[in-house]
Structure formats: C-alpha cells, structure tokens
Amino acid sequence: MSGGQAADRVVETARAAGLRLVRFLYCDLDGVVRGKATGIAGLGQRLQSGIGLTVAMQGFTLLDRLAPVEGMGPVGEVRLLPDPDTFVIAPYAPHTGVVLADLTTPQLGPYDVCGRTFLRRMEDRAAAAGLRVMAAFEPEWTLCRPADDRQPAWEPLDRSLCFSSQGMDGAQDVVDDVVGALEAQGLVVEQYYPELGGGQQELSVRHAPALRAADHLVLYRETVRAVAHRHGLAASFAPKPWPDQPGNGCHLHFSLRDLDGEPGCFADASGAMSRLARQFLAGVLEHLPGLIALTCASVNSYRRLIPQAWASAYRAWGYDNREAAVRVASPLRGQEAETANVELKACDASANPYLALGGLIAAGLDGIERRLEAPPPVAVDPHLLAEDERAAAGITRHPANLAQALEQLEQDRVLQEALGERLATTYRAVKELDLQSFAADDPDLEYDAHRFRF
C-alpha cells in the first residue's frame, strides 16, 4: 500500500469511528513521550505534511529544561511526520486516535536527531547482513494509589507477594482494562503476573520486528498510564520509584531471523544458539558499558542496578541466570527454534526504546562482523564470586552512575559511529543537564521527578 493510500485509509477509519483528535506522538531523548494532536478536519493534510514542532524539543530534559545544544533554540523547526501504519484508535481516550511520528526536516527529509530514524537505519544495516532483528520489551510497572495526607502523595497499591494470587485480585480491574485496551490496538498479550514489589505488575506482549517492538512500547506505556488514571490510580515505570521497593526493569528480549522471517539462523531445532547468535551476543557484551547509557538512561536507573536485586549489576551472561546482564532464555518445548531468545536485563523504561534497541543492534552486528567470541557462561550469581574469579572470567561491574555510563558511551567508537555526531552530541548534552539538575544529591527530588515521568 502506498503512503497516500495508507493515509487515506487512516482518514476513512478515523471519520468512521467518530474521532475528533489524532495525537502525533514521539519519544524524546530523555524517554518522555510527547506530541501534538490534529483536529479531524486537517488529518488528511497533516498525514502528508506533518505538524510543525520547534527544533528545540530534542534538547528538552525530563524537567523541561533546555540543554545548551547549538541549533536547538527558539529559531528553527522540525516536522512530526506520522507513520500511517502505526495508527490506532485509543481505547482510553474518547474520540481520539494515535499515530507515531518521525521527526523530519521541514522538507520532510531525515532528521539526524530522531530516535525512530536511527533505529530504522540500524534495521537497514541488519538487513544488509541478511538479518531481521526481532524484539520485545518486557516492562515492569508499579500501580499506585493516592496516599492519605502523606508525602509522597502516592504509594504502592498493595504489599502483595511476588506472583501471588492476592496481587492479581487487587489489580484485576485495572489489568483487565489494560489487556483489553492493548488488544484493541493490535498488541498481543503473552503473560501477566504481580512482580516482587508492592503493587508491581509485569505484563508482556508478543515480539515484533525491531521498529514495531519499540513502537509497541510507546503505545504500551501510554495505555497503562491512561487506564490507571481512569481508575483513579497512577502507574510508575520509573527504574526506582521508591527507595524501599524493588525497581522496575524493562527487559529487552531479542533474536535474529533471516529476511524471510525464518528463525533458524538464531537457533537450531533443539534451541541451541547458532554461531551467528553467539557472535551477536558477544558484541552486545563487548559494548555493554557504553550501551547502558542508552538502555539505563536516567540518573534514577543506577539505583536499580545493584547486586543481588535480580536487576543485574555485572557484565556477564548465562543460561537463565537472572543476575547476569544478559540471560539466554530457555525456549519452549516443541517450539525451540521459534522461541529461543536472549534477554538484556540492564534496561529500563527511562530509555528511549528506539535508541536502546538501535544501539543493541549496532553492538550485536559489530560482534558478527568481528566474529567475536563470548566468554564462558556464568552459572552462579556473579556477586558471589571472588574479585579475582570475576576478573579471570571477564566479569565487570556496570557503570556506577549515569555520568560513568556516558563516559563509556563517548569512548565507544562503534556506538558513536552508529548514532552519528549530531544525535550523540545532543543525547549527551541532554543527559549532562539531567546530571546537573540532580547534582544536589536530594533523593526526594530525584524520586519525585522520575516517578511518573515515563
């Protein structure tokens, strides 16, 4: 279907559904979903020409402070150009549709500070190698209720136990509405369970090609937050919403297929990883110290990445090792080749999913190009090993904070080249302003600022 035909289909569907507004959404460099909306009368035109947006927006932080980036001030404009294939009717907002957008130049050409464009470039790079990257983000989120005259103003919905049926019962009305809303938008729900923290939920959706997987996370976050709000509650995707509660990860699962969609290039019929898959995994491990600046992208992220919290604190991999940064998941019996996948645990929802997944692809492809070999898998909690044992096995701690991760990212030639100078420079400027904003070491400010931002 041509672009014009797809746009016509969106207009026809929107009018038939009685929509009044359609939101053009994008995810900024600080992981915040932003956008503008068009009235239905102008939808057809704006699907073709986009909506104007100040060029400064990609320099904004999660506190709405503008990073000092050359060319990102009050002068200049980009366009929010929607991808008609992402159009959905929002089940949680009356008479409203949603479409995900690229940031483009005013002439509708590629804009080098657009995360979605970056991920598309990395998909093209994988395709040139004969590969299609499949992925799924697996978000954890904390369902919160208003606190009674206390600070902070919100608290976890309950204190239920991990995987407990009581936790399911307490959240059932919200979760049922979330599932219905996701399915109405074409996202296939795979599993649901209450997680370890009070009010913490985990609900996974089916994998998709990389760009669609990142799109799905944006729609997922929008849906969960809005449904919770309609129940008088709030949903936090923050990496560490409270100091005394487990953090929220957004684990990134990935696998490789050939361009025809066949999974055999990643694992054989027994589920054993192929040499190509092991090289891709080795590339992810090689670049993980810098990649974490894209996947654990906030000041708050590094409160989660601590030993023995099942979040991963070490650069290591293993089979079903949930304390390793990279876990090779057990495939399903009878579907070994189709379900074999690898999970990056060092990832959370403060990340721009397009940057996180694009960076992962760049790292993995470098592993294939250089035929890297991963170190032996780790079959124990890495924290229980002596320091000399970890050193001998090539196991290192993650960066201790966002500043250290940014330094690693800046030193990573492969990731810098993949991002491109303009995107890499702007990303760093935004994150450095975050570091300055939270430099006072005021935990309350940090927790409050991050709790409901993502």
Residues 399 and 337 in one domain: yes
Residues 201 and 333 in one domain: yes
Report residue 252's pLDDT band, with 50, 70 and 90 as the boundaries.
very high
Look at residues 79, 29, 28 and name the one whose alpha carbon lies nearest to residue 424. Answer: 29
Least confident of 12-21, 99-108, 147-156, 252-261: 147-156
Query: Which tokens sit at 260?
Result: 């025809």
Distance CA 205, CA 362 (A): 24
Continuous segment of H or E residues that includes residue 368: helix 353-369
Place of tokens 């009018």: 15
Question: 442: which residues sit within 8 A by CB, 6+ positions away?
Answer: none
Helix/strand/coil for 420:
coil
Report pLDDT for 207.
96
**Mean pLDDT within 132-142:** 97
Report residue 441's pLDDT band, with 50, 70 and 90 as the boundaries.
confident
Helix/strand/coil for 18:
coil
**Mean pLDDT within 113-138:** 97
Report pLDDT for 335.
84
Q: Do the domain assignments include residue 327?
A: yes
Residues 182 and 68 in one domain: no
Query: In CATH, what number is assigned to the domain containing residue 62?
Result: 3.10.20.70
Residues 50 and 149 in one domain: no
Answer yes or no: is pLDDT of 153 > 70. yes
% of the chain exceeding 90 in pLDDT: 90
Kindly report whether the global pTM for this prediction surpasses the value 0.95. yes
Answer yes or no: is pLDDT of 410 > 80. yes
Q: What is the DSSP letter of 407?
A: H
Distance CA 120, CA 291 (A): 18
**Mean pLDDT within 279-304:** 98
Residues 166 and 22 in one domain: no
Distance CA 157, CA 336 (A): 38
Question: For the segment 53-111, what is each residue's pLDDT rounded down to a tens digit?
Answer: 999 999 999 999 999 999 998 999 999 999 999 999 999 999 999 999 999 999 999 99
**Average model confidence (pLDDT) for the chain?**
95
Answer yes or no: is pLDDT of 150 > 80. no
Look at residues 108, 58, 107 and name the one whose alpha carbon lies nearest to residue 83. Answer: 108
**Mean pLDDT within 144-170:** 89
Query: In CATH, what number is assigned to the domain containing residue 172?
Result: 3.30.590.10
Answer yes or no: is pLDDT of 26 > 90. yes
Distance CA 271, CA 400 (A): 35
Work out how many domains the chain is built from and give that number: 2
Query: Looking at 108, 136, 156, which one is the last position of a domain?
Result: 108
Query: Looking at 60, 77, 108, which one is the last position of a domain?
Result: 108
Report pLDDT for 290.
98
Answer yes or no: is pLDDT of 3 > 80. no
Report pLDDT for 2.
61
Report pLDDT for 349.
98
Query: Looking at 74, 108, 142, which one is the last position of a domain?
Result: 108
Residues 152 and 230 in one domain: yes
Report pLDDT for 131.
96
- Domain extent at residue 22: 3-108
Residues 48 and 162 in one domain: no
The vertex-220 CA angle with 215 and 221, nearest 5°, equals: 105
Residues 137 and 7 in one domain: no
Residues 133 and 245 in one domain: yes
Answer yes or no: is pLDDT of 375 > 80. yes
DSSP 150-214: -SSSEEES--PPTT-HHHHHHHHHHHHHHHHHHHHTTPPEEEEEE-SSTTEEEEEE--EEHHHHH
Conformation bin of residue 308: beta by default, left when phi > 0, alpha when psi is -120 to 50: left
Q: What is the DSSP letter of 82?
A: E
Report residue 14's pLDDT band, with 50, 70 and 90 as the boundaries.
very high
Residue 339, classified by CB atoms within 10 Å of its CB into exposed (0-12), middle (13-18) or buried (19+), is middle
Q: Do the domain assignments include residue 113?
A: no
Residues 62 and 181 in one domain: no
Per-residue CA distances from 281 to 162, 229, 273, 366 (Å): 30, 39, 10, 10
For 380-394, b where at least 16 C-beta lie within 10 A, e where not — what string?
ebbeebeeeebeebe
Peptide linkage before 152 cis (omega within 30 of 0) = yes
Return phi, psi of residue 27, to 5°.
-110, 125
Residues 81 and 159 in one domain: no
Distance CA 312, CA 306 (A): 7
Question: 191: which residues sit within 8 A by CB, 6+ positions away?
Answer: 202, 203, 204
Continuous segment of H or E residues that includes residue 389: helix 387-392
Per-residue CA distances from 224 to 112, 176, 177, 184, 188 (Å): 30, 11, 9, 13, 15
Q: Do the domain assignments include residue 115?
A: no
**Mean pLDDT within 335-349:** 92
Question: 349: which residues sit within 8 A by CB, 6+ positions away?
Answer: 31, 139, 141, 217, 221, 237, 238, 239, 248, 250, 454
Residues 207 and 62 in one domain: no
